[in-house]
Amino acid sequence: MNDEKIETNARPVDFIREAVEADLQSGRFDRVHTRFPPEPNGYLHIGHVKAITIDYGIAEDFGGLYNLRFDDTNPVKEDVEYVDSIMEDIRWLGYDWEDRLYYASDYFGQLYDWAVELIKQGKAYVCDLSADEVREYRGTLTEPGTDSPYRNRSVAENLDLFERMRAGEFPDGSRTLRAKIDMASPNINLRDPVMYRIIHEAHHRTGDAWCIYPMYDWAHGQSDSIEGISHSLCDLAYEDHRPLYDWYLDQLGIHHPRQIEFARLVLSHTVLSKRFLRRMVEEGLVSGWDDPRMPTLSGLRRRGYTSTAIHAFCDMIGVAKRNSMVDIAMLEYCIRQELNETAPRVMGVLRPLKVVIENYPEDRVEMFDARNNPVDPEAGSREVPFSRVIYIERDDFLEDPPKSFHRLAPGREVRLRYAYFITCTGVVKDESGEVVELRCTYDPETRGGSAPDGRKVKGTLHWVSAAHAVPAEVRLYDRLFTVEDPMGLEEGQDFLHYLNPNSLEVLTDCRVEPSLVSATVGDRFQFERQGYFCVDPDAAEGWLVFNQTVQLRDTWAKIQQRDA
């Protein structure tokens, strides 16, 4: 390789890019080839996006290649559903693995042959200890492990037993193949790790061809080697596993990728573990992997998040060497910033309160011009109908308001967005004393929202015409967990103890302006004074369903200003 400096695309430099460039300049590698290796045992979550972005971004920056490889080594937990969802999510993010789609199961034959090679070298043996006994013999972080009584079997016996394991002669859990390394190693991963276990389960790709399956740690590094990966990029959880990967590759004498670890994403008020997310799905605590409260990409997409907002979030958090908690408000900030620029404005009343404007003609309907997006002048405008009976938000009226309340109250005048000033003249209550209707008058001289005499009002309300409004269901969301770190558990405490019982509120009597009657699944809007919302797949003809994407209030930006 020549000494010419490698050209990279203009973007922030981090320690991984510095290491990759150094490898190219030194001649350690003459190309860049990365991969994203998900296990197909659940849906991708926002934490995976950081890894995908790093893997793909490094390859793109250095003109290299990017593989998608499923590490499908455990048929008990894997499913084609997860494979399909992962590919859909990666495409949604805008990444293309082209023709480089692989599976660890593609290499089961080669992995088996390599295991036989290690047995022949005296570096692997068949062990009859149970899983519990293996853990007991392994020792602790401060005490060395104890050799398995089967560690010194002969090469011939190990080859015979391993072949019989492969042939299906033994039941699940009765035997394993283990690497013979060092039971006294300070790194527990090197204390004779299991390479193969017996699982009599059909695999989603290989069917019943195998009844022994490689452990992740055995398949991972060798799969990278087979594919010619130059840089194996992974989170810090795999740092202690790197010596094991190195040992396997060195014993086999095959291509040796360089592993570089980075800090994983830890997001507040949620969990980023497929194991824990799957538990919530299986126990019915959420409606599925795509529940809008979930941190999965399918859940975020259903809630109204865009791939560009998620990329902006990843750019903001950057690439670090140490794990740290990221406030989920930062993710909300990113989608709020984008939707402020792009989302059409509409009026929707979530908790309707009927208002009769008594001096407005009963048969009259006026059309008012409303801006679609004040941030984008080219977005144009739309017409919204106004009539004698309208709905306002129930929270916009108080019969006995405090001084700080500037919305509607008896005898008080407010502005209706785009329309007129109205004054509350009467209150109608039901038998229980609840306010069910307001009587008001309007000032016809204030059309468009301003008074010719220059008088001012402090409150401006959104509204919809009762005769023209479209019924809708609106789903409001709160944090999935009540604490910032639900995994920072007290002893004996289950993470579900912190599950927020009020994370979902469903409103079924909402009214939205008629322009939304043609809205389709995935369309995003700002409900004025309410927040940003997205049409849910549950919507049907004549029945709109909206998910709240994010509130209007920007808590993260305020926190930054406070701490500055």
- What would the pLDDT profile of 396-428 be if each residue is shown by its tens digit? 999 999 999 999 999 999 999 999 999 999 999
Q: What's the pLDDT tens digit per position in 334-372?
A: 999 999 999 999 999 999 999 999 999 999 999 999 999
Q: Identify the pLDDT of residue 11.
A: 53
Strands 544-551 and 470-477: parallel
Q: What is the 3-state secondary structure (H, E, C) of 148-206?
A: CCCCCCCHHHHHHHHHHHHHCCCCCCCCEEEECCCCCCCCHHHCCCEEEEECCCCECCC
Q: Identify the pLDDT of residue 560.
A: 54
Does 96 have pLDDT greater than 70? yes
Does 285 have pLDDT greater than 80? yes
Q: How far is CA 362 from CA 344, 357, 358, 359, 513, in A?
A: 31, 9, 9, 9, 20
Q: Identify the pLDDT of residue 361.
A: 96
Does 116 have pLDDT greater than 70? yes
Cα–Cα distance between 308 and 334 in angstroms, integer?
9
Mean pLDDT calculated for residue range 136-155: 96
On average, the pLDDT of the chain sits at: 94
Question: What values do phi and psi take at 541, rounded to 5?
Answer: -60, 125
Question: What values do phi and psi take at 438, rounded to 5?
Answer: -115, 145
pLDDT band at 7 (very low <50, low <70, confident <90, very high): very low
Cα–Cα distance between 209 and 213 in angstroms, integer?
11
Q: Identify the pLDDT of residue 123.
A: 98
Does 208 have pLDDT greater than 80? yes
Mean pLDDT calculated for residue range 484-494: 80
Clarify whether 274 is annotated catalytic: yes
Of all residues in the chain, what percent carry a pLDDT higher than 70? 95
pLDDT band at 556 (very low <50, low <70, confident <90, very high): low
Does 564 have pLDDT greater than 70? no
**Torsion of the alpha carbons at 161, 165, 166 and 168, rounded to the nearest 10:** 140
Q: Identify the pLDDT of residue 12.
A: 62
Q: Identify the pLDDT of residue 3.
A: 37
Q: What's the pLDDT tens digit per position in 298-339?
A: 999 999 999 999 999 999 999 999 988 999 999 999 999 999
Nearest to 350 by CA among 182, 547, 118, 138: 547
Strands 524-527 and 345-346: parallel
Task: Pick 437 or 563 by higher pLDDT.
Answer: 437
pLDDT band at 563 (very low <50, low <70, confident <90, very high): low
Burial class (CB in 10 A: 0-12, 13-18, 19+), 85: buried
pLDDT band at 6 (very low <50, low <70, confident <90, very high): very low
Q: Identify the pLDDT of residue 488.
A: 78
Mean pLDDT calculated for residue range 473-491: 89
Cα–Cα distance between 346 and 514 in angstroms, integer?
10
Catalytic site residue from 175, 178, 205, 264:
264
Does 2 have pLDDT greater than 50? no
Mean pLDDT calculated for residue range 53-59: 96
Which pTM value belongs to this model? 0.91
Nearest to 228 by CA among 462, 60, 59, 34: 34
pLDDT band at 555 (very low <50, low <70, confident <90, very high): low
Please count the CA atoms within 13 angstroms of the CA of 244 that sit on its side-chain side.
25
Q: Identify the pLDDT of residue 26.
A: 97
Domains in the chain (CATH in brackets) are 15-262 (3.40.50.620), 267-344+473-563 (2.40.240.10), 348-461 (2.40.240.10)
Q: Identify the pLDDT of residue 1.
A: 35
Mean pLDDT calculated for residue range 182-186: 97
Mean pLDDT calculated for residue range 275-302: 97
Q: What's the pLDDT tens digit per position in 73-83?
A: 999 999 999 99
Mean pLDDT calculated for residue range 152-159: 98
Q: Identify the pLDDT of residue 324.
A: 86
- C-beta separation of 14 from 319 below 8 A: yes
Catalytic site residue from 274, 301, 412, 511:
274
Mean pLDDT calculated for residue range 19-45: 97
- C-beta separation of 58 from 13 below 8 A: no
Clarify whether 321 is annotated catalytic: no
Residue in the structure block whose two tokens are 């992995």: 111
Does 524 have pLDDT greater than 50? yes
Task: Pick 211 or 560 by higher pLDDT.
Answer: 211
Kind and range of the H or E element at 435?
A: strand 435-443
Catalytic site residue from 28, 39, 354, 439:
39
Which residue type occupies 427? V
For 464-482, letters b (16+ CB in 10 Å) and e give bbbebbbebbbbbbbbbbe
Clarify whether 415 is annotated catalytic: no
Q: How open is the CA angle 80-297-294, to the nearest 5 degrees?
A: 100
